A and B are shown apart, each in its own frame.
Chain A
Amino acid sequence: MGKTISEKILSEKAGRDARAGDVLVCEVDYAMATDGSAPMAIDYFNQMGGTRVFDPDRIVFVMDHYSSLSHRNTTELQARMRAFAAAHGVTIHEVGDGICHQLMVETGRTLPGGLFVGADSHSVTGGALNAFATGIGSSDLAATMICGRIWLKVPHTIKVVLTGRLGPGVYPKDIALALAGLVGADGATYQAIEFSGPASAELDLDGRLVLCNMSVEMGAKAGIFNADRNTIEYLRARTMAPFKPAEADADARYRRVITLDVSGLTPMIARPHKVDNVGGIDASIGIPIQMVFLGTCTGGRIQDFHQALRILETAGRIAPGVQLVVTPASREVEAELRRDGSLGRLAATGATILSPGCGSCCGTAGPIPADGANVVSTANRNFKARMGNGAASIYLASPAACAAAAATGFITDPREIEERLR
């Protein structure tokens, strides 16, 4: 009987043949923590009697959840991270460098066939590069900082076969939302998702990152793509490190196979206050919107802003009464948007542009919505109070649909505006 990608990677990292359900202790390639999780991890590290980290080059700290101005106490948390990083030689990304998940990809650290743990639930994002990447808490991260290992139960796998071609106005975010609706918020709990099929192969890296990022919104332990020419070209420009992609065997055993023909998808939206409360955007059209957020580890990459800008410039304005907040996922994304002129053009539409990081996504580092406000966001979660105000309602959609709402002041099918371009 053949093996899934997860069975192969985790067997390799544990040095023994393993199957779904087996409990292993695996060698970790990289361990990552943010200013949201590292301070507690440092406390656990000290309480565990940690004196040195297993390998400072394989531990990465990222300050992304809190901007430098967000709160006096958070600057103190960041100071503790800097002190620990300096004492142990751990790599640190400063405030404004970007979101941890984007940085782990851009810096060429996330590699096919590798095992990556991050003390942040969206660490699953790295699966876009054929890694087994998963989220853990601060205590597990502390233990891994000490020994370089983690215990993992090899997950069963759901195979998601994507077929067909995305129609106009429909984007990878719409696939992710459609899957969240189909699978449900706990439909993939304790399981991995393998993305395959011709439409998966056609997605570029940015699109794959969106799907993997949102796999945790279905409860998944990991979301993984195959490595192909796109993957290898992306990495060749970023790292000299060797890697060995993991491919599922033809006779691998899956717990469930879901086939989705993406040709039939329309723009989707997740309504308050659950990510799996998903429907076609047509049923939500006309709902007034007061805040639009373009950014995050789901929707803060170059293509996302290009998508949004096309809509905003076609419409020619931001509707009165709408606050548009733009936050690039990383400094590299920001620099490219500046170089190609997008950043200036976004600013010219009237958007507020913040420095890279998590921003408004989780109410920690950017503008928060007002009482009673409806927000539409490119993010991955719409829980009540997620953006820092429990009296606001959050909708999730593609960057194009978010921009369409910014342009009109209410939820709008982005195809209506895109049609003017044709």
Chain B
Amino acid sequence: MRIELEGKARLLGDDINTDYIISSGRKKETLDPDVLKRYLFEALDPSFAASVAPGDLLVAGRNFGCGSAMEVAVTVVLAAGIRAVLATGFSRTYYRNAINNGLIPIECDTAGIHEGDELRVVLDDEGITVTDLTLGNALPGLPLPGIMLEILSSGGLVPYFRVHHDFKT
């Protein structure tokens, strides 16, 4: 498997909880991520959603996706055209939900990345490498456990289960 992405860094802070990604209240209206993406990060910055371009990459600090385990917090990010989130750390439920839906969660040191930096992400059997093309430096990412790589390379838990009908030991 080899996944290669290039995109612009969209900087977020520490402890971005799932309600900041998409408010629980919005879930009352619809679960359709193509509608919900209009409200992406509205509690933090109401203008954020309109400024996201497909291909952008989210870059956060510690504890990204903490709080509720709600999965729309992942599907709404994908619907906005974002394929990967880079963070110093993730909540475990967000991390799992991301993998299960094909959103790539990358644990790496994000402190040096600036808003708008051009980033390249390469995920292959060797691991994950992030390059800040603007600064010209490489940031090693933490590797994924084997089963997560398999789910991700299947395209998510739905295609994985359509093939295996179970978790493979």
Partner-B contacts on A (CB < 8 A): 23-25, 36-37, 39-40, 44, 47-49, 65-66, 70-71, 73-74, 77, 119-121, 135-140, 142-143, 146-147, 149-151, 153, 185-186, 189-190, 219, 221, 274, 362-364, 381, 383-386, 388, 390
Contacts and interface: CB of A to CB of B under 8 A. Distances in A.
B161 A49 contact: yes
Given A121-B93, A140-B157, A189-B89, A362 B66 contact: no
A146 B165 contact: yes
Contacts of B47: none
Nearest to A384: B43
Nearest to A43: B31
Contacts of B91: 186, 189, 219
B63 interface: yes
Given A73-B28, A362-B24, A37 B71 contact: yes
B41 to A, nearest CB: 11
A185 B63 contact: yes
A186 B66 contact: yes
A189 B63 contact: yes
14 contacts: A24-B169, A36-B27, A37-B69, A48-B161, A66-B28, A135-B93, A137-B100, A138-B71, A143-B167, A274-B15, A362-B24, A383-B20, A386-B19, A386-B24
Interface size class of B (residues with CB under 8 A): 35 or more
Contacts of A143: 157, 161, 167
Given A48-B157, A147-B166, A383-B19, A185 B25 contact: no
A135 B157 CA distance: 17
B19 A189 contact: no
A216 to B, nearest CB: 8
A10 B97 CA distance: 21
Interface string B92-131: 1100110011000000000000000000000000000000
A40 B166 contact: no
A150 B101 CA distance: 16
A393 to B, nearest CB: 13
Nearest to B97: A137
B23 interface: yes
Given A186-B62, A364-B24, A140 B165 contact: no
Interface in B14-45: 15, 17, 19-20, 23-25, 27-31, 42-43
A78 to B, nearest CB: 12
A37 B73 CA distance: 12
Interface in B49-108: 62-63, 66-72, 74, 89-93, 96-97, 100-101
Interface of B: 15, 17, 19-20, 23-25, 27-31, 42-43, 62-63, 66-72, 74, 89-93, 96-97, 100-101, 145-147, 156-158, 161-162, 165-169
Given A23-B146, A24-B169, A390-B23, 13 more contacts: A25-B168, A39-B31, A48-B158, A70-B28, A121-B67, A142-B157, A146-B161, A185-B66, A186-B62, A189-B89, A383-B67, A384-B19, A390-B43
Given A23-B145, A364-B24, A219 B157 contact: no
Nearest to A24: B169
A150 B167 contact: yes
B15 to A, nearest CB: 6
A150 B147 CA distance: 11
Contact of A137 (B28, B67, B71): B71
B93 A136 contact: yes
Contacts of A23: 145-147
Contacts of B30: 73
A153 B89 contact: no
Contact of A149 (B147, B158, B166): B166
Given A143-B161, A146-B165, A71 B29 contact: yes
B25 A186 contact: no
A363 B97 CA distance: 23
A383 B15 CA distance: 10
B29 to A, nearest CB: 6
Contact of A36 (B24, B97, B156): B24
Given A40-B71, A121-B67, A139-B157, A48 B28 contact: no
A363 B18 CA distance: 14
